[in-house]
Amino acid sequence: MMDIHQILKHLPHRYPFLLVDRVLAIDKGKSIRTLKNVTINEPFFVGHFPRRPVMPGVLMLEAMAQSAALLSFASMDVSPDDNTVYYFAGIDGARFKRPVEPGDQLLMDVSLARMKAGIFKFNAAARVGEELACEAELMCTMRTVG
């Protein structure tokens, strides 16, 4: 379990781009379950879409990638520093199954499928209740910059 204060110590993202509110469960080296509370106050709802607000699919993918980053850091027992950046390396098989709207809670389940040569591959799914909203295979990598 991690609350927002612990998440802020592990992810460089900040408002309006921090898309994980809580870690509900984590099994280091295996899987993570996270939560994003979706509120009408999200800045993207102003333009997506004014008459029928829907969370953009790319932001659901980003929320799952942030969850994957938290799993990676926990699995390696490291915390990111100012010289470490966690990047998307690829997205495969992304599917969007239902809209995510204000008031929904997005539950994300991410499992580590493989780690090889600094590339992490994850299976990720986001649900609202029991309904699948989004799924994808995510590839991410950590790089030192500076």
Q: Which residue intervals of the chain are DSSP H helices?
A: 4-10, 57-75
Measured on CA atoms in the order 35, 102, 9, 82, is the torsion positive or negative? positive
Query: Angle at CA 122, nearest 5°, toward 134 and 55?
Result: 25
d(CA 128, CA 66): 18
Q: What is the CB neighbour count within 10 angstroms for residue 101?
A: 14
Q: Which residue intervals of 42-144 are DSSP H helices?
A: 57-75
Which of 5, 10, 13, 48 does the annotation list as catalytic? 48
Residue 48 annotated as catalytic? yes
Task: List the catalytic residues.
Answer: 48
